[in-house]
Amino acid sequence: MDFRRGQLDDRRRRVLMDEMTSGAEVDTEDATSVKKPLRAYSEAVLEDRQPRITELIPVRPFLVTMIILVALTGIAALETLYIQLRTSSWGDAAHPLAQRFVALDLASRGNVGAWYGACLLALGSAAALIILSVRCHRVDDYSGRYRVWMWTAAALLWGSLDCASGIHHAIGAGMAVLAGQPQLADLCWLGLYLLVFGALAVRLGIETWHTLSAFSALAIAAVLYIVAGMAALGLWTITSQLVSTVFVSSVTLVAHVAVIATLALYARHVCLDAAGKLPLRLRAKDGKKKKKSKAKLSVVSRDEEDADQNQESAKPAASST
């Protein structure tokens, strides 16, 4: 009887211990659930679920083509509105509503065409920063050539400010006054811009040389900017003011679009290269070097084998003599 009672006591102790441990676990779970803060947003707001900045890069050729066509369509719309304004009675200064359409006059400062160009260059500055964020992770860039995109972003941001405000006229006038030649105001700012932005364009040409499409777009932009600068100096003799304004504004805006095309095409190339979807040039070069070295080794081994055979053939002849 005592033996059975001892077994019953042990069971009671075990049941009591199980109840105590289960109650402690419930208390700890309640305490942790009370202390844990409630989430006001869903888990989609977490960093690992947010879209990456590289997703803004147009990887498909169709998207790049559409971006260029949409930008060119905007230029065509602006030029059409300006031509319609000048050829109608609304463009006459005597018309009571003429001052209300001054924003469409591409010959005036601060017009909608200038702001359109400023938006294009600001978009290009953002694209240069995206290229920089990807390009800086290239493992074989020991000299830090990716820094050119930082300077490109700064230059395009300055160009956006210049398009919106026309600050280059003030810079040229200040340089001309300091030089004592006020009539050379346009030549001063054009020379300064050609020196600074021309050097940057050459460096970008070296950077985008292996991407034929981006290099071609950059070359087109450089030629169009030079043509617009020559028109600003008065080297183009166009008698009609309407034709002159349409020509200069169209060339300048198309040059801005060419810059956007350069950045979009090179950003696509960098994104595909970073994803491993393009053939790596260094591997091809290493493969060629390895093939050459193997060929050299095979030639050397053959020469050594021939020399050994000649020596072996010479030994029996010497022994026979």
Cα 162 to Cα 74, 105, 118, 123, 302: the distances in Å are 20, 18, 8, 14, 69
Q: What region does 11 belong to: left with phi over 0, alpha with psi -120 to 50, or beta?
A: alpha
Distance CA 94, CA 72 (A): 33
Tell me the DSSP string of 74-97: HHHHHHHHHHHHHHSGGGSTTSTT
286 assigned to some structural domain: no
Distance CA 109, CA 169 (A): 11
pLDDT of residue 147: 92
Distance CA 241, CA 20 (A): 96
Distance CA 124, CA 119 (A): 9
105 assigned to some structural domain: yes
State the first-to-last Cα distance of the chain, in angstroms, to the nearest integer: 118
Distance CA 103, CA 111 (A): 5
Distance CA 222, CA 231 (A): 14
175 assigned to some structural domain: yes
Q: Where are the alpha helices (DSSP H) in the chain?
A: 2-35, 61-87, 112-135, 148-165, 167-179, 185-207, 212-232, 241-274, 281-320
> What backbone torsions phi and psi does residue 288 show, to the nearest 5 degrees?
-65, -40
pLDDT of residue 23: 54
**Per residue of the chain (321 residues), what is the pLDDT tens digit?**
444 455 556 666 666 666 565 555 444 544 455 455 667 777 777 777 777 777 888 888 899 999 999 999 999 999 999 888 888 776 566 666 667 777 788 888 888 999 999 999 999 999 999 999 999 888 888 888 899 999 999 999 999 999 998 898 889 888 888 888 888 888 888 999 999 999 999 999 999 998 899 999 999 999 999 999 888 887 777 778 888 889 999 999 999 999 999 999 999 999 888 888 876 554 444 444 444 444 443 444 455 555 555 555 554 544 444
104 assigned to some structural domain: yes
18 assigned to some structural domain: no
pLDDT of residue 22: 56
194 assigned to some structural domain: yes
- Domain containing residue 244: 61-279
Burial 175-199 (b: 16+ CB within 10 A, else e): bbeeeeeeebbbbbbbeebeeebee
310 assigned to some structural domain: no
Q: Are 185 and 176 in contact (CB under 8 A)?
A: yes
pLDDT of residue 151: 95
- Which amino acid, 250? S
Among 254, 207, 276, 213, smallest CA distance to 61 is for 213
Number of domains in the chain: 1
pLDDT of residue 10: 66
216 assigned to some structural domain: yes
Q: What region does 88 belong to: left with phi over 0, alpha with psi -120 to 50, or beta?
A: beta
pLDDT of residue 43: 76
